[in-house]
């Protein structure tokens, strides 16, 4: 279970430095914009879920210069950075809300999100809630991280757990859904033209500490609840880092996998 208070805290603390470290997140947003350029038609009103620092918001305004955008985020500090990124334009309304309890009076032509849906505790229920905000014939297009993301980290944690005699099946950190899961959710909501693209994106870091530090500085560090004591967790963390360095060294550093998914469909008219 993801603790949303921790998610809000992590992103709020790292709002001002986020863009310095969010290379993969920017890349994912760029790929989403490419998809929108090819797929989405005219829009009068767009809902952006998890606008963060406004990187995608600004590109949406460039792609749809005559469209109003309602940009929602869980973190007030992130919204303040986004306002500076976009400028105080009357085209964008910024709102601080959690997507999993979102309530809005509008009906939108396009709902879009990048690097957010992996934080959902109830993915299918949340897509259903968003579906009620989408007008007939409207599109939902989103980018997120797939189930192969950080596979090296998860394998290293499993080896670390085994080394201290613990159950290696207990998950450490964020777990991600696969492309099939997201497409099935949209199909169950009776969307048309459901499809997606997947890209395995590998990034090299000098060492495990630098990888974990980069994750932390983008606010994406672990927000799942754990029952382990601090001492046991530290022991496993140190062992995990040793295993990671041994198992996944590549060239002059270590490799981290990002499983990038872009998924979408059209609501029946």
Query: What pLDDT digit, counting tens, does each position of 39-58 carry?
Result: 867 899 999 999 999 999 99
d(C-alpha 217, C-alpha 70), whole Å: 26
Strand partners, 254: 205, 249
Q: Do 152 and 255 contact (CB within 8 A), yes or no? A: yes
Structure tokens at 153: 């980290």
Structure tokens at 182: 């997201």
Query: What pLDDT digit, counting tens, does each position of 109-127 carry?
Result: 999 999 999 999 999 999 9
For the purposes of burial, counting CB atoms within 10 Å of the CB of 117, is it exposed (0-12), middle (13-18) or buried (19 or more)? buried
Tell me, what's the pLDDT at 4?
A: 87
Specify whether the backbone of 168 is left (phi greater than 0), alpha (psi in -120 to 50) or beta. alpha
Query: What pLDDT digit, counting tens, does each position of 163-213 carry?
Result: 777 765 555 667 899 999 999 999 999 999 999 999 999 999 999 999 999
* Residue 252 pLDDT level (bands cut at 50, 70, 90): confident
> For 73, phi and psi rounded to 5 degrees?
-150, 155
Query: What pLDDT digit, counting tens, does each position of 124-153 carry?
Result: 999 999 999 999 999 999 999 999 999 999
Percent of the chain with pLDDT over 90: 73
> For 255, phi and psi rounded to 5 degrees?
-110, 140
What is 13-48 written as a DSSP string?
A: HTTTTHHHH-HHHHHHHHHHHHHHHHH----SEEEE
Percent of the chain with pLDDT over 70: 92
pLDDT at residue 217 greater than cutoff 60:
yes
Tell me, what's the pLDDT at 170?
A: 59
Q: Do 124 and 185 contact (CB within 8 A), yes or no? A: yes
Strands 134-145 and 92-96 turn out to be unpaired
- Which one, of 27, 1, 7, lies nearest residue 203 by Cα? 27
Q: Do 185 and 263 contact (CB within 8 A), yes or no? A: no
Tell me, what's the pLDDT at 42?
A: 82
How is the chain split into domains, by residue range?
4-267
Tell me, what's the pLDDT at 251?
A: 84
Tokens 């959710």, residue? 185
User: Which CATH number describes the domain made up of 4-267?
Assistant: 3.40.50.150
- Cite the beta strand spans of the chain per DSSP E: 45-49, 68-73, 92-96, 108-114, 134-145, 191-205, 249-250, 253-267
Structure tokens at 119: 């934080």
Question: How many Cα atoms occupy the beta-carbon half-sphere of 198 within 13 Å?
Answer: 15
More confident residue, 38 or 190: 190
Q: Round the average pLDDT of the chain to a whole number and report it.
A: 91
Out of 24-33, 75-84, 181-190, 213-222, which region has the weakest mean confidence (pLDDT)?
Answer: 213-222
d(C-alpha 184, C-alpha 24), whole Å: 26
């Amino acid at each position: 279970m993801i603790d949303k208070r921790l998610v809000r805290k992590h992103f709020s603390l790292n709002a001002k430095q986020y863009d310095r470290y969010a290379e993969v997140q920017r890349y994912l947003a760029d790929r989403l914009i490419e998809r929108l350029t090819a797929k989405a038609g005219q829009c009068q009103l767009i809902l952006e879920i998890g606008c963060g620092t406004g990187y995608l918001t600004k590109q949406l305004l460039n792609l749809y210069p005559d469209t109003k955008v309602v940009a929602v985020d869980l973190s007030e500090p992130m919204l303040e950075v986004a306002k500076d990124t976009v400028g105080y334009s009357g085209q964008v309304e910024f709102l601080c809300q959690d997507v999993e309890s979102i309530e809005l009076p509008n009906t939108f032509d396009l709902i879009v999100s990048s690097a957010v849906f992996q934080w959902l505790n109830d993915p299918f229920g949340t897509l259903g809630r968003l579906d009620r905000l989408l007008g007939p014939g409207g599109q939902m297009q989103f980018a997120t991280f797939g189930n192969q993301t950080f596979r090296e980290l998860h394998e290293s944690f499993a080896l670390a757990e085994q080394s201290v005699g613990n159950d290696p099946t207990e998950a450490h950190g964020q777990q991600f859904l696969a492309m099939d899961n997201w497409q099935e959710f949209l199909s169950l909501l009776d969307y048309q033209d459901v499809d997606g693209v997947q890209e395995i994106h590998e990034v090299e870091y000098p060492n495990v500490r630098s990888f974990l530090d980069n994750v932390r500085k983008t606010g994406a560090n672990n927000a799942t609840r754990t029952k382990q004591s601090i001492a046991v967790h530290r022991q496993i963390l140190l062992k995990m880092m040793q295993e990671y360095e041994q198992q996944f060294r590549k060239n002059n550093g270590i490799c981290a996998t990002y499983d990038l998914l872009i998924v979408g469909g059209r609501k029946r008219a």
